[in-house]
Amino acid sequence: SQAVARSVVQAASVYLTPVTLELGGKCPCLIYGRINIQAAAQRLVWAKFFNAGQSCVAPDYVLCTEATRDTLLPTLSSVLEQFYGKEPQKCPDLSRIVSARHFTRLMKLLEQTKGKVVIGGESDQEDKYIAPTVVVDAGEDDALMAEEIFGPILPIFTVEELEKSIEFVNRHEKPLALYVFSDEPSVVKTVMEKTSSGGFCSNDGIVHMTLPGLPFGGVGMCQLTHC
């Protein structure tokens, strides 16, 4: 959290200890306009559920129209089965939650959400396993929007207009990464120009941070802090 980060920096400064704190955040993924839904679903699933969603640049939530959501959901389900099989818990490629504490935190979010689980939702406390999970029909004030999820739970919010989805993003802290899926260059350009984020990637996820020639950092409260 930001409070913890400030405490660490303050403690380190007494001894002139160099530190680097990387603060994560809620990384949005906007899907608008003409789109190859199969390609988008495959890349979204890979980026979101890589390491069971436990990466600072994982897509945290999706914004799209209701029609896009209804097309996306069965494709996500199909891609998840393609990646992790019919029984994801038995798949060696699906990570576990890093600790019992984080498992409990994630399950509490699922218990508190007013949204509907439409994919996944299964869990095993002893195995620290949570299935790749997709939630719909949650509001902007939902528990899943209160903090960075940092786990295999993907809420999808329906916003019919691109401009309204941009306003949705801008009402929250500037994200460490922002993603947009669209085959329309004008959509990508509009999102890029009207939002601010540490990193920006179109029609893919996470890969921007793998390029050694690109800087990696955030904006505002979500940034790399050097002491």
Residues with catalytic annotation?
22, 56
C-alpha dihedral sign at 72, 96, 51, 151: positive
DSSP annotation of 144? G
Q: Distance between CA atoms of 168 and 163, rounded to whole angstroms? A: 9
Q: Distance between CA atoms of 143 and 174, rounded to whole angstroms? A: 19
Q: What are phi and psi of 134, to 5 degrees?
A: -125, 135
Q: Which residues in the chain belong to E strands, given as ranges?
A: 20-22, 27-31, 59-64, 116-119, 123-124, 129-130, 133-136, 153-158, 177-181, 199-202, 224-226
